[in-house]
Structure 1
Amino acid sequence: MKSYEVNFDGLVGPTHNYGGLSYGNVASQSNSQQSSNPREAALQGLAKMKALMEMGFQQGVLAPQERPDVAALRRLGFAGSDAQVIERAAKDAMPLLVASCSASSMWVANAATVSPSADTRDGRVHFTAANLNCKYHRSIEHPTTSRVLGAMFADQKHFAHHAALPAVAQFGDEGAANHTRFCRDYGQAGVEFFVFGRSAFDTRYPAPQKYPARQTLEASQAVARLHGLSDDGVVYAQQNPSVIDQGVFHNDVIAVGNGEVLFYHEDAFLETDKMLAELQAKLGKCGGNFQSICVPRSQVTVEDAVRSYLFNSQLLSRVDGSMLLIVPEECRGNERVWQYLQSLTSSGGLIREVKVFDLKQSMQNGGGPACLRLRVALNQTELAAVNPAVIMTAPLYGTLTQWVDKHYRDRLSENDLADPQLLLECRTALDELTQILKLGAVYPFQIN
């Protein structure tokens, strides 16, 4: 049976803004307080989805969240009508209002960790929503994320959904941004690669000194247990604490993998040789031939990688067996990175082509091509069981671009977040979107 890796990209929400909320994310902090363009951001993301669909890749879309999150503000003591809650938060606690308006759910690499049916004990595709408890503005996402994923992958015969892990520091979980799967074929058993920044209970593992390590070993192990993964099908590796302190807040900022290939920076991991040997041995037992491409620090520094988001790229397998790398425009703007990519693709190796996309609106807030997509490996039967309205087609692309043009502002500043009209605009847009994507009632304003 034929199997596919389907990329479900996050649709940028109407409140896309530069709040500078993500400590440890260099781009997010560098562009704090600048005016954003939500309409341009959403259209840039949709253009990437359309392009990949036209290249023959399976492509889906994942809906944004309701913002501002008035319910979250009420839990923090703001009372009155929705408009009064927003007004009082703006007056007394503007940082909380900014956090409640974050459109960070656009980066659906953090939405969940996904294990395909070929790896799991019960033969179903498993989803665990990420608790994202390292940052308040992201920690409020997982209830809606779970409902949206449940509406997309509803058939319990094929799909299993798990609640987010306990929202405490010991089980900090950042989803697929720290998870990669290696396999010979998407429909065959593979090896799931969990990367963590620290251990909550074992002091033998070093921790970064400047920025927080968001993913714990214990969270990764818990997800593997929930998904029913075998020990032979899992490899755990620790991020290099020194690169976390240089702005590598997730593994997908310093490494990307697909199929049998890992593309990574020389300084990405601790005990790299041991990790590579384990991946090779375990994938070999699954009939695969693990291969790695190491980018030397002498050619691309960690700073270059962080500023260009070279590794926050999409590594895609083509029909002829070669690989395509999807990178942001910022890679072309970095001389050392661009020289490396030209050398890489001209060498006749595994990665044969690089395609560049303009994702400036997302990039300025700290998210590149890989942040915008959640990968789900599905066989033909499972793909047929997915809500068909969320699979990208030319008509859906046309409908969504018209929807964005109708509902999104072309400029948003921090002061605009205090406008109660923005909440009404967002709810009107999302109510229409749930009809387009046939999601049913997934947002708090639709349920309460």
Structure 2
Amino acid sequence: MQHFEVNFDGLVGPTHNYAGLSFGNVASLSNANASSNPKQAAKQGLQKAKALADMGMKQGVLAPQERPDVLTLRRLGFSGSDAQVLQKAAKQAPQVFLACCSASSMWTANAATVSPSADTADGKVHFTPANLTNKFHRSLEPQVTGRILQATFQHEKYFNHHVHLPDNEFFGDEGAANHTRLCSNYGHAGVEIFVYGRHAFDVTQPAPKKYPARQTLEACQAIARLHGLSDEGVVYIQQNPDVIDQGVFHNDVISVGNQNVLFYHEQAFRNTEQAFAEIQQKFGDQPVHFIKVDTHDVPVLDAVKTYLFNTQIITLPNGEMAIIAPTECQENAAVSAYLDKLVTLNTPIKQVHYFDVKQSMRNGGGPACLRLRVALNDQELDAVNPNTLLDDNQFERLNAWIDKHYRDQLLVSDLHDPQLLIESRTALDELTQILKLGSVYPFQQD
């Protein structure tokens, strides 16, 4: 039996915009209200995914959310036709309106936490959509995300889907952005690492002071229980509160793992030595490569600006590991010098590939944000909705779909345009037919 790590990249939606909604995300705030290019954003993400497929990686796509979210606006008291709802909300409650127009579902690292069958008690792949309660605009996503995941991973013999955790800050869950998995082989039982920012029920424990800690320990523990993970296969680590206050809003902005490698900044965690000893003990006889980046080599600010750690580490078919990095890493002297040195060291990482994903970077997400990792064996891969897997033909279809439906420029002031809503729904309805997802969007179910 063969085993793979499959990356499912989120397709950037047709209303990709820069509303600056995410307090604690430096890039998101610094580009607020700038003009966006939805067509370019979607193509950048799709081209990155296709490049990985061309490297021999298994690659899929996930559909975006519908935005503007008219259903939520109606729940909040705006009435009339869809056009009237948009106009009233934009005029009467502009910040609420912008939140309901968020483009953030493109970052599918926040879509869910995934545990492969090798780790779970029932031998199935488990999915729990993230509730994303810390940000209102993201808390609107879990139900549709759950439907998209179920339409992508349909077969009950292989896949187990959970409802997202309770919508409360005590169980704030940000998905795979605060979760990584180490293993000797993708098909072998691994160590699932849950990184949390704070304790919800014990306020005496350290927590950040400036920016919110979005993930709680209690949420991590709940997901481990839901997924049937054994205590011997789980490690909980607290993110350094001081580094959260420097703009590291998710763990995947300060560390990333793959197989037997954990690539991290020296300021990433609390109690690092103790946690790493537990990881190594649970990992087994094979050594884990803990690759530490010192502050004097790459300051935290540079790591956040370039998303050095919001990169993908992939294992290529020849067994070598490669880093998939944004071009911002190449353009920063300190980060570029570090990566040039990294590939010469005695670690499994031997290559760096740079990609232009600037439309995503300006909104606060790098290459790793754009993908959800799902470890599958060949039988499970065969059970995945084949229309969501990327090959040459599907790439061409999706490229043509973007060309047909996406605008080259979008201003925040365009979001209440009723024509944009019509364009977006037309595009998404066609996408569900391309991917054969069924009726996953509220407007399709009315």
By the TM > 0.5 criterion, same fold? yes
| Aligned with 1:391 (options 384, 389, 392) | 389
- 1:350 maps to which of 336, 339, 348: 348
- Separation in 1 of the partners of 2:62 and 2:72? 22
The aligned residue for residue 41 of structure 1 is 41
- Deviation of 1:418 (Å): 1.2
1:97 alignment partner in structure 2: 97
* C-alpha distance in 2 between matches for 1:348 and 1:282: 23
Give the superposition deviation at 1:288.
Answer: 4.1
Structure 2 residue identity aligned to 1:150: Q
Aligned pairs for 1:211-290 (under 5 A) are 211-284=211-284, 288-290=286-288
How many residue pairs align between the two structures? Answer: 446
Q: Counterparts of 2:391 and 2:347 in 1: how far apart (Å)?
A: 32
Map Cα deviations across residues 108-158 of structure 1 (whole Å, 9 max, x no partner): 000000000000000000000000010011000001000000000011110
Q: Where do residues 5-84 of structure 1 align in structure 2 (5 Å cutoff)?
A: 5-84=5-84
Q: Contact between 1:180 and 1:192, CA under 8 Å: does it hold in 2? A: yes
Give, in whole Å, the separation in 2 of the partners of 1:50 and 1:128: 26
Three-state SS of the structure 2 residue aligned to 1:418 is coil
Alpha-carbon distance, 1:414 to partner? 1.1
2:442 is matched with 444
Q: CA deviation at 1:97?
A: 1.4
Equivalent residue number for residue 424 of structure 1: 422
Aligned match for 1:365, one of 344, 355, 363: 363
8 Å CA contact 1:197, 1:216 repeated in 2: yes
Q: Which amino acid aligns with 2:67?
A: R
> Map of 1:140-219 to 2, 5 A cutoff?
140-219=140-219
Q: What is the Cα deviation at residue 94 of structure 1?
A: 1.3
Cα distance, 1:346 vs structure 2: 2.3
What amino acid is aligned across from residue 365 of structure 2 in structure 1? G
Q: Report SS of the residue matched to 2:415.
A: helix
Gaps of 5+ in 2: none
How far has the Cα of 1:204 moved from its partner?
A: 4.3
Corresponding position of 2:136: 136
Q: Quick one: which amino acid aligns to residue 271 of structure 2?
A: E
When normalised by structure 1's length, the TM-score is 0.99
Q: Give CA deviations for 1:65-108 in whole Å, capped at 9, x if unaligned.
A: 11100000011110111110001011111111111111110000
Does 1:88 find its partner at 2:88?
Answer: yes
Amino acid at match of 1:358: D
Say yes or no: does 1:333 pair with 2:331: yes
How do 1:397-412 residues align onto structure 2 when only pairs under 5 Å count? 397-412=395-410
Question: 1: distance between equivalents of 2:268 and 2:68?
Answer: 36
1:311 is matched with 309
CA distance in 1, matches of 2:31, 2:292: 30
- Residue segments in structure 1 that go unaligned for 5+ positions in a row: none
* Structure 2 SS opposite 1:383: helix
How far off is 1:405 after superposition?
A: 0.5
What is the CA-CA distance between 1:199 and the residue it aligns to?
A: 0.5
State the Cα deviation string for residues 363-386 of structure 1 (Å, max 9, x = none).
000000000000000000000000
Question: For each residue in 1:148-189, what CA deviation from the matched residue of structure 2 results, as whole angstroms up to 9, or x when unmatched?
Answer: 000000111100000110010100000000000111111111
2:114–2:125 CA contact under 8 A, matched in 1: yes
- Distance in 2 separating the partners of 1:157 and 1:171: 29
RMSD: 0.8
**Distance in structure 2 (CA, Å) of the matches to 1:327 and 1:435:** 32
TM norm structure 2: 0.99
Rounded to whole Å, the distance in 2 between the matches of 1:419 and 1:349 is 52
| Equivalent in the alignment of 1:295 | 293
Contact 1:67 1:102 in 2 (8 A): yes
In structure 1, how many angstroms separate the alpha carbons of the residues matched to 2:194 and 2:206? 17
Deviation at 1:289, TM superposition (A): 2.9
The 2-side partners of 1:288 and 1:253 are apart by 27
Please give the secondary structure, in 2, of the residue aligned with 1:9: strand
Q: What displacement does 1:317 show?
A: 1.0
Offset at residue 337 of structure 1 (A): 0.6
1:229 counterpart letter in structure 2: L
The answer as to whether partners of 1:28 and 1:365 remain within 8 angstroms in 2 is yes
- Structure 1 residue matching 2:325: 3-state secondary structure: strand
Task: Report the AA paired with residue 2 of structure 2.
Answer: K
Percent of aligned positions that are identical? 64
Matches of 2:193 and 2:61, distance apart in 1 = 25
User: Secondary structure of 1:312's partner?
Assistant: coil
Maintained 8 Å contact 2:56/2:317: no
1:109 counterpart residue number: 109
Match of 2:124 in 1: 124
Task: Determine helix, strand or coil for the equivalent of 1:343.
Answer: helix
Report the Cα offset of residue 41 of structure 1. 0.1
